[in-house]
Every structure is written in C-alpha cells, then in structure tokens.
Amino acid sequence: MAEHNEHIILKTENLSVGYKTKKDQVCVAKNINIQLEKGQLIGLVGANGIGKSTLLKTLTKNIPALNGSIFIENKNLNKCSNLELSKLLSVVLTEPLVAKNLSVFELITLGRQPYTNWIGNLTEQDLKTVNHAIQIINIEELKHKKCFELSDGQLQKVMIARALAQDTSLIILDEPTTHLDMYHKAYILKLLQKLATTTNKTILFSSHEIDLAIQLCDKMIVMNTNEINFDSPCNLIEQGVFNTLFPDDLITFDEITGSFKVKK
Amino acid sequence: MQQHPAYKTPFLVLTLVLILCFIINISLGSVLIPLKSIFGIVTGQVPENTSWEFIVINYRLPKALTAIIVGSGLGISGLLMQTLFKNPLAGPFVLGITSGASLGVAIAIMGASFFGGVMAGVLISKWSIVIAASLGSFLVLLTVLIVSNKVRDTMALLIIGLMFGSITAAIISVLTYFSTAEELQQFVFWRFGSLGNLSWQELVIFSIIYCIGLLLSLASIKALNTLLLGDNYAKSLGLNLKKTRLTIIIATSLLAGTITAFAGPIAFIGLAIPHITRQIFTTSNHKILLPAVFLLGSIIMLICDTIAQLPGLEYFLPINAITCLVGAPVVIWLLVRKRKMVF
C-alpha cells in the first residue's frame, strides 16, 4: 500500500468546491474523489459553467475548498505555503500575458523563480533546466523572440515550457487549447501526452476537445450536473457517461467513433 | 533572467553622461565661476574667492544632489507603479501621493487665515511645509492602503487613487477661493517645484529616507519580474502577493512622498523616465531597468535643472515647467520614431 502511495501525485478526499460569499456558499460540485498517478495525462471535461475552472482553481489553491481535503505528493494543500506549493505544482492559465515585451527565454527563466536567490540570479543548474525545457518543447528557434511576435500556438508552447522549467511533478493547465486551430489543438494535447510519458510528470488539463481527450488521455474526469466520474476513457464510454454530458436535443455521443454528432 | 553583456556599453555611457551632467550643472549658474575654481572648491583646496566657495558648497552642490535624488527617485517609483498596476499610464502619483501632499501644504499655507493670526507665523515656515506635505501624502496613502485591503483588484486601487486625487483637488480649490493673494502666491510657488532650497542638514534627512525607499525597491526586483507574468502566475510561482504589494507601495510612497515634500510636486518625470528607459534598453527585466532608470532619471533632472537656472542670467524658471517642456517632446519623439510602445 505504501509503495502504491508513492505513485499518487494528487489525491482528493470528499472534496467540495464552490464559491463563498458573505451570506452563503454556492456549492458547484461535491464528493470529488480522484487519484492522479505519476506519468498520467488526465483530461477534465464538462459543459460550460459546470465548474471545471472552479475545480482547477481549488486544486491550485486559488480559492479555498468548501469541504474535504486535497493532497499533492501526500502533503495537505492547506498546510503548504505558496513557495512550497510552487515546487510541487505549476500552472498554465488562460489569462493573457501582461508584459509582452519579455523575450521567450526570459519568460521561461521566470519559471525558476521559486529556486533562485533574493535577486533572481540563475545558477548553472537553473540554466540547464531552462534549456532542457526549451529542448523538450522544441522551441529553440523562438528563444530570442519577444512574446508579442508569437502566434497563439507558439505562445501556448512557451507557457508550457515555462511550467516545465518550474520542475514540478504536477502541471495543471486551464483550457490550453482555446484560441487554437484544429491542428494546433491536437498538437498541444499530443505534446502533453508525450510530456507525461517522457518526463513522468502528471498533467491535468481542462478542455472542450472531448474527442481528442478520449483518444489521448490515460484518465478522464467528466463533470456532470449531478456527479463526477473519474475513470479511463474506455470505461467512461461503456458506462455511458458522455451521453448525459450535454442536453440531447442537439448533439448525441457516438460510442463507436468516440465523438459527438449533430442530430440531423 | 540573465545579465545581458550587450547592456554594458549603454550603462557605461550613461554613467559618463551622468558625471558630465553633474559637472555642467554645478559649473553653471547666475554667477559665472571658472571650471578650474569649481574643481578646486569641490576637492577642498583653498579657494581664491570665498563667495564662490559659498555658492558652490551651500547652493549648487546640494541642488545638484537634490536633482539626482529627485530624478532617480521619481523615475524608480514610476517604474514600480507601472509594473505593479500593469499600466503604462501609472506614475508615482496615482496613489494620491501628490494630491495628499498638495492638500497638506494648501492647508498649512492657506488654512492659516482660518486658524487665526497667531498660528500664521508658525505655519508658514520651511519645515512646516515639509511636514504638512509628508503628513498629507501619508494620510491619503494610508486611506488608499486601507481601502486597498478591501479590494482585490489592482485596477480598482488605481481608480481609487485617482478619485482621492480628485477629492483633494476639490478641497484645494475651495481653500484657494477663500485665501488671500499672498497665501495663494506662496502656494503657487510651492507647486512650481524647487530643487534649490535645501540646506545640507535637510539634504541628509532627505537622502536617508530616499535610501530606505531605494533599498526596498532593490529588494523587490525579483518580485517585480514575477509580477510581469500577471498576479495569478506570480502566485503560482510562490510570490506572497499581499506582502509584495505592500512593500512596493511603501517604497513608492517613501520615495515620491519625501521628494514631493522637499522639492514640490514635480510632474512628468515619474511617468516618462521608465518609458524613455524601456525605449533605450528594450527589456522588461527590472534588474536592468532599475539601475537604468536611476541613471536616466538623474541625468534628465540635472539637464532640466541646468536649463531652469538660465545660466548667466539672474532669473530662473520653475523646474516643474521645464521637466514637462523638455521631457514630453522626448517621449513623443521616441514613440513616433520607434512606432511601437514597449511595455
């Protein structure tokens, strides 16, 4: 059992997520029990407004959990300081970059901030990690470009490289495929799959690309209004989880191809 | 973030220009003193003319040093504010620092008629203006800080600072309306700004507070770079946002607050210097920007002061007008020439 625990990077116990206002609290999802293992790619899917972002924000300690607990590498999230957490978990967010004048290299080196000294000087080791991240993502030719010169797809790769440079066992991405064309959507998700297997990192992302996620993920978290399912894509299809994901007046899930079809 | 070797040359050039500007600044003035005598006086040799020695030691030298402190301090606090608020329009005064200082001084000068004749003499001394300005900016800043703890959005904080500015401006106009011509004149003179009224004793106090602000800014360099990614990324990199925000605001208020108290509300420098620096250095790395802003701020302030004292003439122009007249075209020219704003 102890050996098994070492492989678990993220674990939630009876987690409830939602928002607290002054008067009451709005529970978006409850009884979430998931266990993400080392080297897995996990997709989080669900309809708009179902609470995917709320769940991710809770997992990244951006908002507090309403109930239950979260463990990252067997450490309770509530007992982690921001700095400790930054060495366990890195993120790729949807928010636009503020300083577009940063060069790609500078941006990626910012991923080393949790490890650098008071003024942020990079050691040999830091530079090695940064260059390794650039190499894995294959963006050497972008290294000296400024961020405002990049396309959306390139920028997303750079942001993933930054998260890699942070050298954490868990990477959480919030909708990494928005604003991208079909090719780059597949490209980014395929890249994430490759990263999970080659670097043995656990990668959790939320996405609306359900068919791509079914093909690429080891496990999926499917958020429905009433329950949350966590299993491998094949098992989820067998259980018919995707059929109830959206109202069935417009689109239906085709179990054979693993994709949604518009009703004729 | 690496220290790029390509930046060594501009730093070297700017340092030389700063030294040159400093020498030019102290050698020009309403009284013509030969350069040789100036060197002699500064290096402590026996001067041939004691009135020259008095002018250089007690007037020009403190004024040049004040110019350096004012230019670099305002520039750095502008840089801090622009990064903190992620807004190129932010300057050291967005938090209501000038408006607070102006209110303090307005009450000290023009409120004298309200407080009656006995107080009037006490209220208008030099130190009382400094104290009133410090107190005013500190109180307004404190209010903004208290409010800022209630709002999570830095943009809201920016607008709150501007609103406080409007409120104080309104109170000042009411005070102006009821004040005498003499009081009004004194207030207007303070508003023109002045670098030349500081004694050595005042300069020591001034520079101590300035150094504390500078040290806090240096300590924030790493955090400032992290903030370039946005608040949420900064948090995910282990940054304590609340502490960082407080440190940066305190550093700014120490720098801009004391400068306003001692030299008056000097416009433009705080907003423009960071932009000029970014155009020259084309980087967002604060490890390079901060020292570059220090150098450029000092240089431009020294040049403005040299122009303001109208060498060889008995008149001098208000420094506040010169900073705008010299600085604004420079920024416009830089932006037009490069066609792109670097932020």
**How many angstroms away from the CA of B318 is the closest CA of chain A?**
36
- E strand or H helix at A28, and its extent? strand A25-32
Residues A194-206, mean pLDDT to the nearest whole number: 95
Number of domains in chain B: 1
- Chain B contact for A116 (CB, 8 A cutoff): yes
Domain membership of residue B272 (yes or no) is yes
B343 domain residue, yes or no: no
Tokens, residue A26: 């709005």
Spans of chain B below 50 pLDDT: 1-3, 118, 123
Residue of B nearest to A85 (CA): B238
| Token pair belonging to A188 | 């980014």
The closest alpha carbon to B277, from B4, B101, B76, belongs to: B76
Beta-bridge partner residues of A254 = A259
Range of the domain at B75: 5-338
> Mean pLDDT for chain A?
91
Query: A107–B229: do the CB atoms touch at under 8 Å?
Result: yes
Please tell me which of the candidates A82, A101, A102 has its beta carbon nearest to residue B238: A82
Q: Of chain A residues 136-165, which have a CB less than 8 A from chain B?
A: none
pLDDT on residue A3: 47
Q: Which residues contact B301 (CB under 8 A, 6 or more apart)?
A: B67, B68, B70, B71, B72, B74, B195, B269, B323
Task: Evaluate whether A39 touches A202 at the Cβ level (below 8 Å).
Answer: yes
- Lowest mean pLDDT of A72-76, A84-88, B154-158, B325-329, name the range: B154-158
- DSSP assignment of A194-221: HHHHHH--EEEEE-S-HHHHHHH-SEEE
Strand-pairing partners, residue A18, are A27
CB A93 within 8 A of CB A174: yes
Inter-chain touch B287–A119, beta carbons under 8 Å: yes
Q: Are A25 and A66 in contact (CB under 8 A)?
A: yes
Between A99 and A215, the higher pLDDT residue: A215
pLDDT value of residue B4:
57
Closest Cα partner for A116 from A93, A86, A94, A89?
A86
Helix runs in chain B, H state only? 8-27, 35-42, 50-55, 61-84, 97-110, 112-115, 117-123, 126-150, 154-178, 181-192, 200-219, 221-227, 231-236, 241-263, 269-281, 286-308, 319-338
Note whether A20 contacts B: Cβ–Cβ < 8 A.
Answer: no
What strand order describes the sheet that includes A202-206?
A89-92, A170-173, A202-206, A41-46, A219-223, A228-231
- At B59, list the tokens: 């007037």
CA-based nearest distance A91→chain B, Å:
7
Q: In the predicted model, is pLDDT for residue A202 greater than 90?
A: yes
Cβ atoms < 10 Å from Cβ of B33: 20
For residue B70, is it within any domain? Answer: yes
Distance CA B217, CA B81 (A): 11
Rounded Cα gap, residues B338 and B312, in angstroms: 37
> Does residue B259 form part of some domain?
yes
Contacts of B225 in chain A (CB under 8 A): 110, 113, 120
For chain B, percent of residues with pLDDT exceeding 70: 91
In chain B, the residue whose alpha carbon lies closest to the alpha carbon of A130 is: B1
- If pLDDT is split at 50, 70 and 90, which confidence band does A126 have? very high
CA separation for the pair A66, B80 (Å, rounded): 36
pLDDT at B97: 80
Chain B CB within 8 Å of residue A63 CB: no
Q: Are A42 and A69 in contact (CB under 8 A)?
A: no
Contact status of A189 with chain B (Cβ, < 8 Å) = no
Per-residue pLDDT at A2: 45
B225: in domain: yes
- Residue B151's pLDDT is 74
Q: Each residue of B46-77: b (16+ CB within 10 Å) or e?
A: ebeeeebbebbeebbbbbbbbbbbbbbbbbbb
CB spacing of A93 vs B232 below 8 angstroms: yes
* Mutation choice for B interface testing from A113, A148, A172, A174 by most B CBs within 10 A: A113
Tell me the HSE value of A165 on the side-chain side, using a 13 A CA sphere.
33
A47 CB within 8 Å of a chain B CB: no
CATH number of the domain bearing residue B50: 1.10.3470.10
For residue B270, give both structure tokens: 């705080």
Say whether A229 sits in a helix, a strand or coil: strand
Q: Residue ranges of the alpha helices (H) in chain A?
A: 2-6, 52-59, 82-86, 104-109, 124-137, 152-165, 182-199, 210-216, 233-239
The distance of B118 to chain A (nearest Cα, Å) reads: 52
Cβ of B221 within 8 Å of Cβ of A90? The answer is no
What are B's interface residues with A at a Cβ cutoff of 8 A? 1-2, 86, 218-219, 221-222, 225-230, 232-233, 235-240, 278, 282-285, 287, 342-343
Name the band, by pLDDT with cuts 50, 70 and 90, for residue A87.
very high
Residues of B in contact with A100 (CB under 8 A): 343
pLDDT 10s digits, A91-103: 999 888 888 888 9
